[in-house]
Amino acid sequence: MQKLLLAVDRFSTFVGQAFAWSVVGLTALISWEVFNRYVLNNPHAWVLDAQIMLYGTLFMCAGAYTLSKAGHVRGDVLYGFFRPRVQASIDLTLYIIFFLPGILALTWAGWAYFGDSLAIREQTFNADPLPVYPFKFIIPFAGAVLLLQGLAEIARCVICLRQGEWPSREQDVEEVDVEKLKDMVHVKDADIEALDDLVVKQGKHS
C-alpha cells in the first residue's frame, strides 16, 4: 500500500512540476506583449485570453501537487497540537463530507463542460480567436488527478487510525531548516552572537 501511495504522490508531483512550466510561458508571453504594445505599438487581441488560460491551467494543475505535499491551508494553530489519530479522524471526516462530493462534481461537470465546448469547437470572442476546448479539458483532467491524490490521502488517514502515526509521503521542495543549516556549515549560536556584537560595536564607532 505504501508503494502505491508514494506512486500517486510521484504522479501528482510530475503533473504539478510539468505544468509549472506555464509560469515560464506566461512570463515570456506577457513580456513579449508589453514590448509589442508600448514599444512597437502593435498589441494583440488574443494575448489576454491566452494569459488567462495559462494562469488557469497553472492554478488548477497545482491542486493535486499541493495536496500531495500537505501544503493546503489548514488551522495548524489547533490541528498541530492534536495526536495523529485525532488529526486523521478530522481529515477523514472532512474528506468524506466536503472533498469527495466537491471534486466528484467538479470532474463530472467539467467533463460535460469540455464535451459541449468540443462539440461546437468553441472559440474566444475577439479579432483573433483562440480555441477554448483544450483549456476546458484541463478542468476534468485536474479534477481527476486531484481526486486520485485525495483517495491516497484518505488511505493515509485510515492507515494512521490503525497504526497511530502518519505514513511517509513523497518529498519535494522544503522550507529552510535554520538549525540544520547551522550544522551543515558548522556555525554555533555563540558565533552568531559574537558576530552580532561586532556589528553593533562597529555601528557605534562609525
Q: What is the pTM of this model?
A: 0.76
CA distance 47 to 151: 37
CA distance 72 to 66: 6
**How confident is the prediction for the chain on average, in pLDDT?**
85
184: left (phi over 0), alpha (psi -120 to 50) or beta: alpha
Q: What angle do CA 189, 172, 7 make, to 5 degrees?
A: 145
CA distance 32 to 36: 6
Percent of the chain with pLDDT strictly greater than 70: 81
Closest C-alpha to 18, from 50, 58, 66? 58
- Determine contact, residues 137/56, Cβ cutoff 8 Å: no
CA distance 180 to 34: 43
pLDDT in tens, 10-31: 999 999 999 999 999 999 999 9
Closest C-alpha to 148, from 4, 26, 8? 8
- Determine contact, residues 150/100, Cβ cutoff 8 Å: yes
The x, y and z cell numbers of residue 104, run together, are 466528484
First to last CA, the chain: 64
CA distance 169 to 1: 12
pLDDT grade for 82, boundaries at 50, 70 and 90: confident
Query: In the chain, what are the domain boundaries?
Result: 2-174, 177-206
- Determine contact, residues 15/145, Cβ cutoff 8 Å: yes
